[in-house]
Structure formats: C-alpha cells, structure tokens
Structure 1
Amino acid sequence: MADLESQEPQDHTFILEDGAPRGVPNPDIDENDHNGHKITKVHTEGDYIQFGNERYLRSELVSAFGGTLNPGLAPPPKHNFANPAPLGLSAFALTTFVLSLINCEARGVTIPNIVVGLAFFYGGMAQLVAGMFEIAVGNTFGGAALSSYGGFWGSWAAIQVKSFGIAAAYEGHDEELAYAVGIFLIGWFIFTFFLMLLTLKSTVAFFSIFFFLSITFLLLAIAEFQGSVPVKKAAGVFGLLTAFAAWYNAYAGIANSQNSYITVKAIALPDFQDKSRKQQ
C-alpha cells in the first residue's frame, strides 16, 4: 500500500457530536480533537475514505469477494500474510464432498467412517489453522466461519470414533441417538443461517456457499428426526452443491492472471438498500 502520509491532504467534512464539558476527561473523545468533541464520521470528497483513524485510497479498499471470505467493503490487510481463505474453503469442500456422496449412497457406500480422517486433519485441523490466520489478517467473518466449521468437522468425527464414547452412551437407544444428532445439526443450521445473512451484500458465489449449506444442515437434521433415507439423499445433493460452491470460491482466491488463463470475476448481489436510498 502506498504511504498515505506522503499524499496531498484532502478536504474532509467532519460530523461532530457534543462531548463532555471542557476540563472533564472523556475516554470517548479523540485525543487529537482539542475542542471537546468526538469525531464520529469522516466523509471524503476526494480519492480517500476514512476507517476510524486511518485513511485509505478508494482504489486500495477491498470489496466483497468469496475468494478472501470478505463479506463487505473493508480496508486491505495490514499483515503480509498469504490469503488463508482458499485453504479453509478447500478443506471444507473436499470433506463435504466425500460425506455428501456417502449420504447419497454413491456406489452403495453408506458407512461414513472413511470421512473421519478428513474430518480430523483436513476439514478440521487445516480449516481451523486457516481460520486463525483469517483473524490475524483482520477478517472477523472468515475467522469465525472457518474456525467454527473446523470445530464442526472435529466434533462430527468424534461421534464416529468409538473411543470418544459418544455413540456408546446411547447404546440400545438408537432413536434417542438419532434425535441427539438431529439437535446437533439444528444448532449448526442456525449458525450457518445467520452467517448467510451476513453475505447478503457480497457476491452470488459467496452467498451460495452458506445458502446451500443451510439447506444441507436442515435436511440432515430432518432426516435424523424422521429417519428418512430420501431426505438424507436430498441433503447429500445439496451438500455436493455446497462443496462445489466452496471449491469455486477457493479457486477464485488463488487464480490470477499470473498463474491462470481462467480467472473469476465476482458477480455482486443486488444492493436493495442503495435502491431504497435513491428513491428517498
């Protein structure tokens, strides 16, 4: 990023609100504001936009993009790290892909234990590490999403491993186990649904991950509650759509004109809020 301190100053309009009386300390007041007012917003009329106390060129701002798991306009990362999102997305995609094929009973496979290794070490561990690096680069959404789904895969794998004793605690109570797993999946549906709401101002591909995943978790929960194989197969189909959407976004985060002839152009979702403001 260019050294913004060396740039020519721009005219700004400050919106001020009354602070504490002069002479009375107020922690909410900016130390640089000696008039006893708190600076709440900065509007720029030039090429700069203010985020808090820092100023950025408009061209340097990062827009919503699934390849970085960034759901909205944000300043560029301050740390010189590689983009961790493709790792997390790829780990999530492959693990989801394999389990979803088993839920569809592809080639007659119905036992999901082949996914345990993936769930622990790729969908779980690798995705958790990617989530931690998302936090390091200042992406709260990416950190929360990737780390949480890394935890999901680890907890799902623990149910399948006998030494954890989770399934064994329900021995002889198969219906209760199914209900318990259904409740577990409903919790993940709720979490995924509110993440989906946070992507409504992003891109079509980005939004599609959480839209398809929400449906997948809901159908899996219903399948457990109802003991329905057809519903579980339907969940497998939506899981496959989720996996391909995650892979697509991972590719978008890696592909560029230096390493590929095929790059991804983000398609933004409609901005309904902007239209309502124009009508006013």
Structure 2
Amino acid sequence: MSNVEKGSIGTVEAVPPQQALAGEVVQKKPFANPTPIGLFAFSATTLILSLYNANAEGIHVGNVVVGMCIFVGGIVQFFAGMWEVVVGNTFASTVFSLFGGFWMSYGIIFIPGAGILDAYEKVPDQLTGALGIYLIVWFLIVTILMMATLRVNIAFISLFFFLDLTFLFLALSQFTGNVNLAKAGGYTGSICSCIGLYSGAALVINKENSFFTLPLGAISS
C-alpha cells in the first residue's frame, strides 16, 4: 500500500507512529503541527487540577478548574485531536480526542445544572465508588496508550507513566477514602504535567525561531 493517503482537504503522507508522536509531521500541504496545542491544553489543565489535589495553597475546593476542563482541556484538546486526523497522526488523534472528551466529562460533573452530583445526594457513599470506577477505567486506557510509546522517546514514556500513576492513585483514593493517595495523585499529576509542558515546548522551540532546542530523549531502534 502506498504511504500517501488522500483526505477531504488535501493529500497527506502517512506518518510512522514514532515520527508522528514526536511531532515530525511529513506532508505535502503546509498544515501546522497540532501536537503542541494538544500537549499544552492537556498539561495546563492537568497541572491546575493536580495542584489542587496536592492541596497547594491550602485549596480543598477546586471548582475553578471547571472552566479549564470544558474549554481548554476539553474543547481545545478535542479539536487538536481532530487536526491530528488531518495530518495522518493516528496515535495523537486518539490521545487528544479521548482526553478532550475526558476533560469535558470530568468538568460537567461539577456543574450544578448537570444534576450529576445531585443524583447522589441521598446516597453519598455511592459517589466515591462511582468516581473510583470512572478513574480506574481511565487508568486502564492510559496503560494501553503507554504501551504505544515504548519506542518513541523518553519524554512521552515518562508522561504516560506518571499519568498512569495519577489515575491509579486517584482511583484508589476514592475507593479507600485515603486523602494521602489523592495527594500522591496530585504530585504525580504535577510531574506528568511538567513533562507535557516540556514536550510541547520542545516541539515549538526549534532552530527556525530559537537559538536552542530541547531534547525529547530519542530511543535507539
């Protein structure tokens, strides 16, 4: 099969997963690389929530993150995933679209008009179990996605590893009621976010616009 695929907008060369994830998009039409947008949208939203989970500044009510969940982590990241489809990046389109949906679904839980939390008013003990199941499913999804990064680079492997730990800690916190596990999830989520911000920076800081570049830790074949 030819490595050139025709899309509705233009002719785009199919990109190997390793190149695509690292932002090396090869194409015949001058589409911008949407990977940094997705990384920044994901990382910024994750960092804010993770700092709340770690009780930074003594914060225990993190509803300020809802706007970020819906608009930045959700809508912006989802559209980044759709743009990844256009440039032929299967893995990144899967990741950004999924997590765009995740952030919107998470944010809507805390919007009063949605009625989700109200449904547990008479059975509050079921809320923690429901949230635990919600988070453990995402732990499983991230575990699968992490397997697809093992030959890409150290930055992306590390990002998915710490994201996986974050979902695991937060899920266990809901199941057990252990607040220290939630804090641990806040710490690992913060690390994951910083790696994501670094990775996004590495894709926009290049020889064309800067005097230096940032390594992502290439893995030899």
Question: How does the TM-score come out when normalised to structure 2?
Answer: 0.90
- Aligned length in residues: 211
In the alignment, is the contact (CA less than 8 A) between 1:70 and 1:142 conserved in 2? no
| Cα distance change on mapping 1:63 and 1:53 into 2, 3 Å | closer
Moved over 4 A (4+): none
Q: Is 1:216 paired with 2:174? A: no
1-structure distance, mates of 2:28, 2:116? 43
1: CA distance, partners of 2:208 / 2:25: 24
Higher Cα Rg: structure 1 or 2? 1
Q: CA deviation at 1:160?
A: 0.6
Q: Is the 8 A contact 1:216 1:239 kept in 2?
A: yes
Q: Which has the higher contact order (CA 8 A, sep 6+)?
A: 2
- Mapped to 1, the partners of 2:29 and 2:134 lie a distance apart of 36
Q: What aligned pairs does 1:110-121 form with structure 2 within 5 A after superposition?
A: 110-121=60-71
Structure-1 residue corresponding to 2:123: 173
Partner-residue secondary structure (3-state), 1:138: coil
Secondary structure of 1:257's counterpart equals coil
Who is 2:209 aligned against?
A: 259
1:239 maps to which of 189, 202, 206: 189
| Higher strand proportion (structure 1 or 2) | 1
2:64 is paired with a residue whose SS is helix
Matched, 1:69 2:18: no
What do residues 209-239 of structure 1 show as CA deviations (whole Å, max 9, x unaligned)? 1111011001100000011110000000000
SS in 2 for 1:64: helix
Displacement of 1:75: 7.7
Q: Which residue identity lines up with residue 32 of structure 2 in the other structure?
A: A
* Equivalent-residue separation in structure 2 for 1:257 and 1:235 (angstroms): 36
Q: Deviations over 1:88-122 (max 9, x none)?
A: 10011110010000000111101110000000110
Distance 1:54 1:136, change over 3 A: closer
| CA contact 2:38–2:96 (8 Å) conserved in 1 | yes
> Which structure 1 segments of 5+ residues have no match?
1-51, 56-60, 272-280
8 Å contact kept, 1:91–1:123? yes
Q: In structure 2, what is the Cα distance between the partners aligned to 1:124 and 1:63?
A: 24
Map residues 53-92 of structure 1 onto 2, 5 A cutoff.
Answer: 53-54=2-3, 64=18, 69-70=21-22, 76-92=26-42
- The yes-or-no answer on 1:140 pairing with 2:94 is no
